């Protein structure tokens, strides 16, 4: 009996030791799990804080970009208003020219977009000549007072930056020969405008500060529908005007057009 009781006691002691060891192991595992979870949670909090800082930085950047966009939009709207104003002035000049030439029953073809006026060279010169012929002088005496009268009127004179007389030739002969001919033809018109024309002394003084003579040779010929050079139409003189800041406005238009396509 004593032996059996002793065996039972040993078995009980062994059982409780095993159970205690298992519980201790489980407790250790639980502690390790908790420790790992705490470390992971801290890492998650740090990453979350970093992401939050990054989001705030992006938000600040977006707000700055939004402010810059609004400023740029305002600037573009202001420039668009300037463009509209310049375009409006050009259209008003073109309309005034149309009306005045119509009153005097002078058939003038004005480009409704640019305001350029094209003359057949045969009206002003003999073939291969640069001196104004009588018919050409008579034509200029009718044309100039109306044209200059409109451009130098009180309504438009402060907007005019340049008046351009541009000579063009056909593609016969060499480029340099035609360059000299076209330059001489444009120059002969300018000389007449500033000397013997029917313009007033005041108009001539105003014109002297803005008029230029350009020879283009056959760099810009006129083509027929079949793609062949029209020799007659290529021989011409063009009279153009340029408004102040028009080059800047053209650049701005390009910027705005590129902005619309983005």
pLDDT in tens, 98-145: 999 999 998 898 999 899 999 999 999 998 999 999 999 999 999 999
Task: Read off the pTM.
Answer: 0.66
Give the start-to-end residue ranges of the domains of the chain. 106-253
State in words which class domain 106-253 has: alpha beta
4 compared with 30, residue with greater pLDDT: 30
The residues facing 163 across adjacent strands are 211, 241
| pLDDT, the chain, mean | 85
pLDDT band for 56, please (50, 70, 90 cuts).
confident
> pLDDT digit string (tens) for 190-248?
999 999 888 999 999 999 999 999 999 999 999 999 999 999 999 999 999 999 876 65
d(CA 161, CA 86): 12
Question: What are the Cα distances from residue 127, in Å, to 120, 170, 192, 235?
Answer: 11, 11, 19, 9
User: Long-range contacts made by residues 242-246, C-beta under 8 angstroms, separation at least 24?
Assistant: 242/160, 242/161, 242/162, 242/163, 242/164, 243/86, 243/89, 243/90, 243/159, 243/160, 243/161, 244/158, 244/159, 244/160, 244/161, 245/82, 245/86, 245/161, 246/86, 246/161
């Amino acid at each position: 009996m004593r032996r059996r009781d002793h065996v039972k006691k040993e078995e009980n002691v062994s059982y409780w030791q095993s159970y205690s060891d298992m519980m201790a192991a489980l407790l250790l595992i639980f502690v390790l799990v908790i420790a790992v979870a705490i470390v992971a949670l801290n890492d998650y909090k740090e990453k979350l804080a970093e992401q939050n800082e990054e989001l705030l930085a992006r938000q600040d950047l977006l707000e700055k970009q939004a402010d810059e966009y609004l400023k740029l939009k305002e600037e573009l709207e202001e420039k668009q208003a300037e463009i509209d104003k310049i375009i409006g002035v050009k259209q008003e000049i073109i309309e005034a020219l149309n009306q005045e030439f119509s009153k005097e029953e002078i058939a003038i073809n004005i480009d409704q977009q640019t305001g350029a006026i094209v003359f057949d060279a045969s009206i002003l010169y003999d073939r291969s000549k640069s001196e104004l012929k009588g018919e050409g002088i008579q034509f200029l005496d009718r044309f100039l007072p109306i044209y200059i009268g409109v451009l130098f009127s009180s309504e438009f004179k402060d907007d005019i930056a340049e008046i351009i007389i541009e000579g063009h030739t056909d593609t016969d002969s060499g480029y340099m020969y035609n360059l000299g001919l076209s330059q001489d033809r444009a120059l002969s018109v300018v000389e007449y405008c500033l000397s013997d024309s029917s313009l007033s002394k005041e108009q001539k003084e105003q014109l002297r500060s803005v008029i230029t003579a350009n020879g283009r040779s056959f760099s810009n010929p006129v083509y027929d529908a079949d793609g062949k050079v029209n020799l007659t139409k290529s021989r011409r003189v063009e009279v153009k005007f340029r408004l102040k800041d028009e080059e800047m406005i053209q650049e701005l238009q390009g910027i705005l057009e590129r902005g619309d396509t983005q």
